[in-house]
Amino acid sequence: MPHPPATPWATLASAERATLARHEEALDALLARGPLSFIDYMGWALYDRECGYYAAREVFGAHGDFVTAPLLSTHMAEALARQWAPILADRGGAIMEVGSGNGQLAVDTLRALGRDGRLPDRYWMIERSARRRAEAQARVARDIPEWAERVSVVADWPDDKAVIIVANELLDALPAQRFRMRRGQAHPLLVARDDSGALGLAEGPADLEMTAALQDLALADGYESEVLPGVDGFLKQASEHLARGVILLIDYGFPRAEFYHPQRHQGTLMCHFRQHAHPDPLILPGLQDITVHVDFTAAARGAIALGLDLAGYTSQGAFLLALGIGADMPADEREALRARQAIKRLTLPHEMGELFKVIAFSRGLDAGLQGFSLLDRRRSLAL
Ligand SMILES: C[S@@+](CC[C@H](N)C(=O)[O-])C[C@H]1O[C@@H](n2cnc3c(N)ncnc32)[C@H](O)[C@@H]1O
């Protein structure tokens, strides 16, 4: 009997092989000018207009490479709508969703808010990928035509203020800088070809600023991990666009002590290709997802430095349960079964319930946020 291929890229279709060859050629042209810092390589591999993974690939869902919570079921959106309702009831205002992908979370959130008569004045979807923006526009026109005029899908931050800024799995998709510790100093890694022409990661010169920022962790020689400089830029933009209200981020990650735990000596970087996870970012450039986890302590410190309040930090499971996920189960038995399965996936600790965290920053918010009422783990961030 023939053995199944060990990895899904062992059987690339000829069109995919041709695309891969084109990407490798484009990468070679870049490398001809010299080694690329890892963060620039990751930025190119994910977002280049011609070759970038998010620019061109069918990335989400059963035919894509990974599934996100909003695509699993409507429960995440419905729970978030319960969190948004009192904020919107207060004085109305806009919602901005950053990295809104194909628009599923936006559509389901608006449906839930619409049912409760709590629609925002405007729902901005801010999405870098033109392909995802087109998908989102089509989804809004198809699924919620009655509210389409309240929705704007844009490439960049609009000239408006919001009372709610939300992002699901945005930070993990920002380009990261990978580094290796050598004699107490952090060396950014570079993507380069070696003498035999093979693509590999080489140590660049020590980065003094990065070394100083990591000094308290006393990382061992050879320790490899990542930093996510884009988080500070994102928070700055979000803070400038928040009138009063909340910035709420959902993503996988840990507090700093766990992120840079001695046992996590190869970092958190992962790649996804057709639901297959592996750690090699240099294969399949532009055809696979590359992602890192989030250091939530760094994010909280960045937000506090911008004058925002830390409004809560907890696991996705605790957040959704505090917002009554599954309170209204469908009457139909088959639908109820599907709903129970989705809720388990979103909340159980060994599924998405524990690895995924929810962190919120606020400005001028009078009441606490219900999502953190069951379990608030702010202290674990050791700020
Ligand atoms: C992992 S996907 C998550 C999509 C969606 N939020 C979901 O949960 O299904 C990350 C998305 O963020 C988008 N993105 C990355 N950087 C961005 C930025 N600076 N501004 C807006 N969108 C961005 C990517 O194009 C991609 O669609």
Q: What is the pLDDT of residues 119-170, one digit of tens each?
A: 999 999 999 999 999 999 999 999 999 999 999 999 999 999 999 999 999 9
Distance from residue 95's CA to the centre of ligand 1 (Å): 16
Distance from residue 250's CA to the centre of ligand 1 (Å): 12
Dihedrals φ, ψ of 359, to 5°? -125, 140
170 lines ligand 1 (CB under 6 A): yes
Looking at the CA of residue 167, tell me the nearest atom of ligand 1.
6
Give percent above pLDDT 70 in the chain.
96
71 lines ligand 1 (CB under 6 A): yes
How big is the CA angle at 306 (ends 305 and 307), to the nearest 5 degrees?
Answer: 90
How big is the CA angle at 259 (ends 253 and 265), to the nearest 5 degrees?
Answer: 130
65 lines ligand 1 (CB under 6 A): no
- Going along the chain from its start, the domains and CATH numbers come out as 69-174+231-269+282-381 (3.40.50.12710)
Contact 206, 184 (CB under 8 A): no
Q: Is 307 helix (H, G, I), strand (E, B) or coil?
A: coil
Q: What is the pLDDT of residues 217-252, one digit of tens each?
A: 999 999 999 999 999 999 999 999 999 999 999 999
Distance from residue 205's CA to the centre of ligand 1 (Å): 31
Q: pTM higher than 0.85, yes or no?
A: yes
